Copies of this chain bind each other. A is one copy, B any other.
């Protein structure tokens, strides 16, 4: 769960104005657990700010991804959703049934990265890792 006030501060620090529309999007982002996509965020945000348009949602999600509050998810059925991202944590574990996304930390890939780098001659700058699975609730529902 993301801290709403912190988000507002980050936006201000970035020179962004806090409009009614942006507040609505921030609230949705801060209170949603799991995947977010523009259409759904827009729909939810309209509860608080009925006149918000999809364009603005896209723009706001972009900013949030920029400041690191959201991270884009890449799933088998598409690459257009986001998940809340806490600072410092780097990866997501996503439930393939319900789409719930949780973060995890402590990926230690240094040995792997070093070995691949020396074998290929590449200079490895970044890595991108996602785990896919089934969350406890969906496991229970299957029994």
Contacts and interface: CB of A to CB of B under 8 A. Distances in A.
Nearest to A106: B115
Interface in A99-140: 102, 104, 106-108, 112-113, 115-117, 119-136, 139
A96 interface: yes
Q: Which size class do A's interface residues fall under?
A: 20 to 34
Contacts of A127: 129-132
B96 A125 contact: yes
A33 to B, nearest CB: 13
B102 A122 contact: yes
A79 interface: yes
Given A131-B127, A134-B123, A136-B122, A107 B112 contact: yes
Contacts of A102: 120, 122
B122 A134 contact: yes
